[in-house]
Amino acid sequence: MTQDELKALVGRAALDYVVPGTVVGVGTGSTVNCFIDALATIKDRIAGAVSSSVASTLRLQAHGITVLDSNTVQAIPVYIDGADEIDHRGCMIKGGGAALTREKIVADLADRFICIADESKLVDVLGRFPLPVEVIPMAAAQVARRFASAYGGQATLRAGVTTDNGNVLLDVRGLAIADPLAMEAEINQWPGVVTVGIFARHRARVCLLGTEQGVKTLSFD
């Protein structure tokens, strides 16, 4: 199977986790696009969606799925999203699609994060994928220097990209993230950091992994 076929497989499998009659949290990315297309087939059975990006909102709306303002929603049972890397505890690196801040906000509304990914995303230690960090533009160089001094990481500005929130992104290479929870907490304290793409506090509870043998379900509870 191709990577696209694996993404389509897990996108459809995620429908099993949608709770009928409720609002669904929807992530961002090519795997989530497959989920959105599958969700359209049951759109009359959900109360709508909360979206994590302009791109996902447009795709949901194109399917006739109601997108709700997150300020009007107090809680949702599930948030379904992809990942750039996921480890064996459900901790993730996210933000390859530049939507990490809104993704973390919607994940925070949800009881459970359901990750959908192809098997290339499963790793022992997070950090081979460059860590995305959304920063306030005036702090970009300062935060980049801090990555070098604190972790030996090399941060580069993602060229030509402005997030949905009007900020810029750093991609940090050369990290081996042994303790995702501690590193997320530390980087969150740095002035100018809006969101770090480590999802440890908001880790996945389930990962639907697309493999050659079919969908493998990893549970992290």
Judged by the rule CB under 6 A, the positions of this chain that interact with ligand 5RP are: 27-31, 81-84, 94-100, 103
Active site residue 5: no
From the number of C-beta atoms within 10 Å of its C-beta (0-12, 13-18, 19+), residue 58 rates as exposed
Closest CB to ligand 5RP among residues 80, 139: 80
Give dist(CA 129, CA 24) in Å, integer: 28
Query: 3-state SS string over 91-150?
Result: CEECCCCCCHHHHHHHHHHEEEEEEEEEHHHECCCECCCCEEEEECHHHHHHHHHHHHHH
Question: Residue 83 or 175: which CB sits closer to ligand 5RP?
Answer: 83
Smallest distance from the beta carbon of 29 to ligand 5RP, in angstroms? Answer: 3
Identified catalytic residue from 5, 85, 103, 212: 103
To the nearest whole angstrom, how small is the minimum distance from the Cβ of residue 99 to ligand 5RP?
A: 4
- In the bound state with ligand 5RP, the residue whose beta carbon lies nearer, of 29 and 153, is 29
Q: What one-character DSSP code corresponds to residue 62?
A: H
Q: How far is the CB of 82 from ligand 5RP (least distance, A)?
A: 3
Query: Of 56 and 65, which CB lies nearer to ligand 5RP in the complex structure?
Result: 56
* Of 194, 197, 196, nearest in space to 139 by CA: 194
CA gap 132, 184 in Å, rounded: 12
Residue 56 C-beta: closest distance to ligand 5RP, Å: 9
Question: Strands 110-118 and 85-86, how do they pair?
Answer: unpaired
- Residues carrying an active site annotation: 103
